[in-house]
Copies of this chain bind each other. A is one copy, B any other.
Amino acid sequence: MNIQQYMEQLGQQARRASRVIANAPTSKKNAVLEAIARALDAQKSQLLKANGEDMTQGKRDGLDDALLDRLELNDARIAAMADGLRQIAALPDPVGEISHLNTRPSGIRVGKMRVPLGVVGIIYEARPNVTADAAGLCLKSGNATILRGGSEAIRSNRAIAACIHDALQAESLPREVVQVIDTTDRAAVVQLVKLKEYVDVIVPRGGKSLIAMISEEARVPVIKHLHGVCHVYIDDKADFDKAVAIAMNAKTQRYGTCNTMETLLVASAIADKILAKLGPMYQEKGVELRGCARTRERLPHIKAATEEDWSTEYLAPILSVRVVDDVTAAIDHIQTYGSAHTDAIVTEDYSRAMKFLREVDSSSVMVNASTRFADGYEYGLGAEIGISTDKIHARGPVGLEGLTSQKFVVLGEGHVRR
């Protein structure tokens, strides 16, 4: 069987299994999630052994330390995986919810029923915990899943898949509800994203190059997570203490996350005071600043920002800083250089806050809060499958609801159209 036939087979099996899981009662889905959690705990030694082999191979292949760290499983991480599944079990089931049911002049009642998407393909790298997370979210939302992890984690992912399959079988559900692609051949990814007939949506979780490749090849809709070039704009009507706290938190609470601020915009009328305060604070934290000319008038020791800096996601202790005239100039900068991920304004001025909320076209827009809040848990969605910077279907953190669709339901009493 070649790769194309293998992927077609996975697709057909997933489609069949999706019909079963779509109609499984909530209690059964939760029982599977609990059973996977128990299996992960029970089969810890097998998981650690398989992961040890991936780690040995990874070191031999010269993977860098950051990647090896993401690849590694240990007691705490296995416990966290199991706990994540129990949390998903505790979330309300989105499937079957009927909303907006109302009676039309014709007499029919029309509403919307939330239903699973069908088959979800997830493509990710390194972290084996995504295998359990993604499978859990898709299962709870009534979808079948085809998972494609990184080749460096294939032994760990197989071991996790074994736990999932044991749990599915224990609850008399087909094991094809969750399938892990069992080849490291990259051609499998290219095939997966073209399986229009069998796959309803692709969620890639990975670097820019992975996502660019998938966007180019895909014939299946993709929920894209592009990079996060997030901004905080400190307005001249900002509360000084809130501004300082938010600007520090948004940059320094964690450097490597997509909702970390990468560019600070400061209104010129407040720039002297704000930069005199923040400059030394960032320096103390070891954050390298790169400024525009007007920033460097106030902080002459810092590097000049280049045009490229404004659109760079550093994911590191580096921050570009620009002094702008007002909220309009700040919005212009964000629309020009931002990535439509998360942007915040700090101001006490009502009209400017409303203008910013309305006009900034990003997946999360904030007033007087740190960009670091842009996250499924913080928003109350529970776990997230990713953060969408697209506008179609799902935008921002994508939880269980983003893995569903709504169909119209019509309830009549023998009604016909005149």
A residues in contact (CB < 8 Å) with B = 19, 22-23, 96, 102, 104, 106, 108, 110, 113, 115, 117-118, 196, 200-201, 215-216, 219, 221, 239, 241-242, 245-246, 248-250, 253, 335, 344, 346, 357-359, 361-370, 372-374, 378-380, 390-393, 395-397, 405-417
> Which residue of chain B is the closest to A360 with respect to CB atoms?
B407
Q: Of all chain B residues, which has the CB nearest A118?
A: B391
A189 CA to B368 CA, complexed, in Å: 44
Shortest distance between the CB of A15 and any CB in chain B (Å)? 10
Residues of chain B with a CB closer than 8 A to A113's CB? 357-358, 365
Question: What is the oligomeric copy number?
Answer: 2
Q: In whole angstroms, what is the CA distance A200 to B391 when docked?
A: 8
Q: Which B residues lie within 8 Å of A201 (CB)?
A: 391-392
Q: Which residues of B contact A346 (CB under 8 A)?
A: 414
The answer to whether B358 and A23 touch across the interface, beta carbons within 8 angstroms, is yes
- A368 adjacent to B19 (CB under 8 Å): no
Cα of A154 to Cα of B361 in the assembled complex, Å: 34
Given A19-B335, A391-B117, A405-B392, is A410 in contact with B363 using a C-beta cutoff of 8 Å? Answer: no
CB contacts (< 8 Å) of A335 on chain B: these are 19
Residue on B nearest A366 in the bound complex, by CB: B410
27 A-B pairs with CB atoms under 8 Å apart are: A19-B335, A22-B359, A23-B358, A104-B378, A110-B379, A115-B361, A215-B219, A216-B219, A221-B392, A239-B414, A242-B413, A242-B414, A245-B416, A246-B415, A249-B416, A363-B408, A364-B408, A365-B407, A368-B411, A369-B415, A369-B416, A373-B415, A373-B417, A374-B410, A379-B408, A392-B393, A393-B393
| C-alpha spacing A19/B395, complex, angstroms | 19
Known: A392-B221, A393-B393. A369 touches B245 (CB 8 A): no
Question: In the assembly, what is the distance between CA of A102 and CA of B380, in Å?
Answer: 9
Given contacts A344-B410, A357-B409, 11 further A-B contacts (CB under 8 A): A245-B416, A246-B415, A253-B417, A346-B414, A364-B408, A366-B412, A367-B412, A369-B414, A369-B415, A378-B417, A392-B392
Contacts of A246 in B (CB 8 A): 414-416
Contacts of A219 in B (CB 8 A): 215-216
Smallest CB-CB separation from A362: which chain B residue?
B407
A104 to B367, CA, bound (A): 15
